Amino acid sequence: MSEIYCSEIMGVGHFVPERIMTNNDLTAFMDTSDAWIKERTGISERRIAATGVSTSELGYKAALNAFSRSDVKKEEIDLIIAATLSPDYYFPGIAVLIQNRLQIPCPAIDLRAQCSGFSWGLTIAHAMIQSKQYKNILVVGSDIHSRIIDFSDRGRNVSVLFGDGAGAAIVSAKKRSAEAHVKNKVSGIIDNYMGSDGSGAELLAMTRPGLSGPELFITKEEVENKSYSPYMEGGKVFKHAVTRMCESITALLERNHLTADDIDFLVPHQANIRIISAVAEKFKFPMDKVIVNIHKYGNTTSASLPLCLSEGVADGRLTKGKLILTVAFGSGFTWGANLIRW
Ligand code: COA
């Protein structure tokens, strides 16, 4: 029987800033309420990074946490993939900054897929391993939203949703018999799905600062009136999120001859509890098979999935042999899913 390379997740970790901002804390800045936010989103509180803390620093700390929970040493990493929409600098990206903090000599690439960034990172790591080019890949998702969102009444439809945080996974090449892999019985990433639709780009976007005009990267007026903050058409984004997340799940289930009953845990991007519930309901996933932590962290963008995976491992739900389906949707629009035997 021939052997093939599988991509096994050897460790996951996360890091969130200490400071908690509750829904009630937000009422000091804007006209909102704990009841409105909880009812519409399921969020109770979120974490806020301290002044001076950067996205690469959060990502680095999440990576250290993943290494502490894995047999793979940082010196063995031969590729870093880091996803964010809130980089330390306009350029370079955060992957090289994380690489420098870890002091490991390997290529480090940034991935721009917003809330789908970590899902796509796993997909690319899997492809890189299967191509036999890399053996141990660090995938990081890290975001600091609190610096760019508008905490006034005008930005309240966006600012109540997001929080800061980071997560990381170490994905390693493991030789397995092709037969066992075909039957999806061995630990590793089994299949992935990715999609994009750029016609929705401006429905959830931070278009300024930018190089598409007016003539300046950012104008004084734009800074003064905070028009650099993300813009979102919430209702449209909501509908696209449910549709595309369902499409991604259907694709992976059908391609792998599985039903929702075969899945031990659904790990969805944490954007809104109503989106998560709608997706779970469509496939009749009972909520105790869905990993949810949105109440504690809000939407942490690229950190959302690894935060769920990391907490799921820590609390004993995600144990070896469990079949897991992750699913994400984000600005772009972008979406994706990963079928993983833990
Ligand atoms: N607090 C109180 N009221 C608020 C508010 C807030 N934070 N944000 C908006 N409102 C108000 C609106 O102004 C509106 O008032 P009006 O009826 O007087 O015009 C009312 O609440 C309803 O707004 P609406 O936007 O229709 O609410 P909604 O039920 O669609 O919920 C979201 C808004 C943002 C929670 C919801 O659209 C959503 O979650 N969308 C998807 C977001 C998402 O997942 N984004 C990331 C994808 S990766």
Assess contact for 160 and 43: CB atoms under 8 A. yes
| Chain segment 30-43, per-residue pLDDT in tens | 999 999 999 999 99
Q: Give me the pLDDT at residue 2, please.
A: 74
Name the active-site residue from 269, 272, 308, 338.
269
Using the mean position of ligand 1's atoms as its centre, give its distance from the Cα of residue 154 in Å: 12
Whether 240 is a known active-site residue: answer no
Check residue 333 and give its pLDDT. 98
Ligand 1 atom having least distance to the Cα of 159? 7
Mutation to probe ligand 1, out of 40, 120, 270 (largest number of atoms < 8 A from CB): 40
- Closest residue (by CA) to atom 26 of ligand 1? 235
Does ligand 1 lie within 6 Å of residue 157's CB atom? yes
Q: Is 181 helix (H, G, I), strand (E, B) or coil?
A: helix
DSSP 50: P
Q: What is the DSSP string of 234-299?
A: HHHHHHHHHHHHHHHHHHHHHHTT--GGG-SEEEE--S-HHHHHHHHHHHT--GGGB---HHHH-B
Expressed in angstroms and rounded, the spacing between residue 166 Cα and the centre of ligand 1 is 25
pLDDT digits (tens, 9 = 90+) for 263-290: 999 999 999 999 999 999 999 999 999 9
**Phi, psi (degrees; rounded to nearest 5) at 250:** -55, -45
Q: Which domains, and CATH codes, for the chain?
A: 1-342 (3.40.47.10)
Ligand 1, atom 21, lies closest to the CA of: 157
Residues with pLDDT less than 70, the chain: 1, 179-184
Name the maximum alpha-carbon separation found in the chain.
67
- Which of these, 56, 206, 204, 269, lies nearest to 142 by C-alpha position? 56
Ligand 1 within 6 A of 327 CB?
no
| Atom from ligand 1 closest to the CA of residue 26 | 7
